[in-house]
């Protein structure tokens, strides 16, 4: 594995990034140039969204951060001991109940049954799925499955949370509701988030910073600060600042897709 | 040009009794039609050849109502079941092991797959004489024939099931540093159960057929249903022959239903196919 998580000793100052890519590139074995010189440092507690044209490598960047894909050049610094990852699908095991699904990660890490059960119960309550512990995934709606998936990631108490378009398959209302719940979790747990999405509104609403990537090979071509204090409320969606930010991101995205 | 399309009331849900009749009716009707066809074909036979198609009452008095025939059917069915189940007891674990190996190493899949297909395309009846010459007339060659009949469906369906595992789930396990074995036991095998059971149902039915076919070629020793079929034919006891046929089919259907039931128990709570 080409991670360098332990190479530089953790800096004492709080400003040291929780996750950083330095001139990171990735070329696949078949010659596909997926990522070209990614420079991105995510500060602890920051919520960074990544937007980009389809196939630009934003999901790949998350997978590199998580260690699912090796990179070819540059450097990556990340602490994977407390890493949360939610996928595009809920990726629940269909034969397991919600409770047993939420327990899975701790089970794989060898946590004792009583402890993982207690933690699972707590996280299920946190995402509002109490009462559905013994349901199987096929009995749940898309939104509920995603909540179960979030609860599962939360059992690890992630310090760094990677989201790969988790709400892309949901309807608008469910998506906005889950956005609010994710913000509540973010406020409560204080993780660092890297969030891949296709939705400009979602990126602007959730993040402290929005990053736009170019078409493949993916590079970071624009960055925007989202000037809205947390905790955020639904009203900001209809503010002038929000509209302006959305417009700027949209323009950057169109420019990135054109190249 | 607009036209008026009148509203139409939603179709009423039929009464429970009608719904049951709609489910049970068609197979019963077809069964009655087949019975009528049988009776018609029988009536068309010349008198001296009518023994070839015993009537229902003859079948009852000449076979199922007769205590010694019932005992013989029961004993023969036991022998056949033993051959079929022994064959399955061998092919299920070996087939599953091969399926897992083929999933683990593409090399193993590439190596084994052509031979699996070949095994499936060899007419097994044609190699029974060879098996006979090699292994004689005992229990072992019969079990081998059952194994040849039943093997193919097991590794292939298991492999299909394992390959259908959601790649996201594999990533999920990888992120926790789970070993390949853990991933197989906690994700791969459960995910492939529905596919595997489709294979087991096929193999179970074939096991009974294989056992009976094997006996047709090995008329020796304490025979099962296959031997009974041959012997009753030789003795012109066609009622008993039909009874043996009926019991053979019942056994085949029985093992099929058993695996359907077991599959339903195992995964109906989470898989749609389990509800069928």
- Residues 31-90 of chain A with CB under 8 A from chain B are 63, 66-68, 83, 85, 87-89
Average pLDDT, rounded, for chain B = 87
Upstream peptide bond of B174 is cis (omega within 30 degrees of 0): no
Is residue A163 within 8 angstroms of chain B, CB to CB? no
Question: What is the predicted pLDDT for the residue at A8?
Answer: 44
Select A51-79+159-259's CATH number: 1.10.1060.10, 3.40.50.300, 3.40.605.10, 1.10.260.40: 3.40.50.300
Q: Has residue B87 been placed in a domain?
A: yes
Residue B71 has pLDDT above 90, yes or no: no
Residue B168 has pLDDT above 80, yes or no: yes
Rounded Cα gap, residues A94 and A86, in angstroms: 17
Whether B270 sits inside 8 A of A138 (CB atoms) is yes
Quick: pLDDT tens for B179-220.
999 999 999 999 999 999 999 999 998 999 999 988 887 766
Span of A4-18, A163-177, B144-158, B167-181 with lowest mean pLDDT: A4-18
Q: Model pTM?
A: 0.81
Rounded Cα gap, residues A12 and B51, in angstroms: 99
Higher local confidence (pLDDT), A27 or B236: A27
Domain count, chain B: 1
Higher local confidence (pLDDT), A12 or B235: B235
- Supply the CATH number for residue B168's domain: 1.10.3720.10
What residue ranges of chain A are covered by domains with CATH 3.40.50.300? 51-79+159-259
Q: Which residues of B touch A104 (CB under 8 A)?
A: 172, 186
- Residues 178-217 of chain B with CB under 8 A from chain A are 178, 182, 186-187, 190-191, 193
Whether B271 sits inside 8 A of A95 (CB atoms) is yes
Q: Which residues of A touch B188 (CB under 8 A)?
A: none
Boundaries of domain holding B219: 55-275
Higher local confidence (pLDDT), A196 or B120: A196
Is residue B123 within 8 angstroms of chain A, CB to CB? no
Residue B161 has pLDDT above 90, yes or no: yes
A169 — pLDDT class (breaks 50, 70, 90): confident
Structure ipTM: 0.87
Beta bridge partners of A213: A220
Percent of residues, chain B, with pLDDT higher than 90: 36
Per-residue pLDDT, averaged over B227-250, amounts to: 86
Q: Which residues of A touch B183 (CB under 8 A)?
A: none
Q: Has residue B1 been placed in a domain?
A: no
A1 — pLDDT class (breaks 50, 70, 90): very low
Residue A66: which of B168, B175, B186 has the nearest Cβ? B175
Q: How is A11-41 classified by DSSP, letter by letter?
A: PSSTTS-SEEEEEEEEE-TTS-EEEEEEEEE
Cα angle A181, A182, A187; round to 5? 95
């Amino acid at each position: 594995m080409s991670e360098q998580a332990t190479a530089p000793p953790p800096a004492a100052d709080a400003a040291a990034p929780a996750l950083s890519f330095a001139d990171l590139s990735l070329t696949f074995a078949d010659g596909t140039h997926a990522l070209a010189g990614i420079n991105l440092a995510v500060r602890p507690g920051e919520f960074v969204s990544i937007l980009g044209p389809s196939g630009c490598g934003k999901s790949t960047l998350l997978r590199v951060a998580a260690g699912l894909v090796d990179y070819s050049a540059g450097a990556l610094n990340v602490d994977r001991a407390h890493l949360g990852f939610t996928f595009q699908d809920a990726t629940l095991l269909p034969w397991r109940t919600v409770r047993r699904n939420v327990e899975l990660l701790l089970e794989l890490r060898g946590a004792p049954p009583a402890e993982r059960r207690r933690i699972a119960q707590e996280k299920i309550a946190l995402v509002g799925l109490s009462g559905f512990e013994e349901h199987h995934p096929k009995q749940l709606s898309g939104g509920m499955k995603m909540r179960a998936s979030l609860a599962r990631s939360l059992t690890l108490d992630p310090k760094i949370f990677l989201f790969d378009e988790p709400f892309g398959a949901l309807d608008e209302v469910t998506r906005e509701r889950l956005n609010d719940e994710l913000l509540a979790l973010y406020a409560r747990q204080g993780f660092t988030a890297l969030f891949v999405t296709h939705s400009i509104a979602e990126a602007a609403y959730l993040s402290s910073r929005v990053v736009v990537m170019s078409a493949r090979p993916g590079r970071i071509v624009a960055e925007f600060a989202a000037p809205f204090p947390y905790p955020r409320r639904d009203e900001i969606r209809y503010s002038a600042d929000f509209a302006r930010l959305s417009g700027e991101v949209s323009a950057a995205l169109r420019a990135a897709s054109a190249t | 040009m607009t036209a008026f399309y009148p509203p139409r009331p939603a179709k009423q849900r039929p009464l429970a009794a009608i719904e049951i009749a709609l489910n049970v009716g068609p197979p019963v009707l077809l069964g009655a039609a087949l019975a009528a066809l049988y009776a018609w074909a029988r009536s068309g036979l010349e008198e001296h050849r009518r023994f070839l198609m015993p009537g229902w009452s003859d079948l009852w008095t000449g076979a199922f109502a007769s205590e010694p025939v019932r005992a013989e059917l029961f004993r023969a069915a036991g022998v056949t079941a033993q051959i079929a189940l022994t064959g399955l007891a061998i092919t299920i674990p070996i087939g599953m092991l091969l399926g897992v190996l083929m999933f683990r190493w593409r090399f193993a899949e590439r190596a084994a797959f052509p031979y699996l297909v070949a095994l499936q395309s060899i007419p097994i009846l044609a190699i029974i004489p060879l098996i006979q010459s090699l292994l004689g007339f005992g229990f072992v060659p019969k079990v081998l024939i059952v194994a040849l009949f039943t093997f193919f469906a097991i590794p292939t369906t298991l492999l299909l099931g394992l390959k259908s595992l959601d790649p996201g789930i594999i990533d999920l396990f990888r992120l926790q540093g789970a070993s390949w074995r853990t991933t197989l036991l906690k994700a791969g095998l459960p995910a492939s159960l529905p596919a595997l059971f489709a294979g087991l149902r096929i193999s179970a039915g074939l096991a009974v057929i294989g056992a009976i076919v094997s006996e047709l070629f090995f008329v020796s020793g304490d025979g099962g249903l296959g031997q009974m079929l041959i012997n009753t034919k030789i003795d012109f006891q066609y009622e008993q022959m039909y009874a043996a046929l009926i019991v053979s089919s019942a056994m085949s259907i029985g093992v099929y239903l058993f695996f359907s039931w077991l599959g339903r128990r195992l995964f109906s709570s989470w898989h749609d196919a389990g509800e069928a």
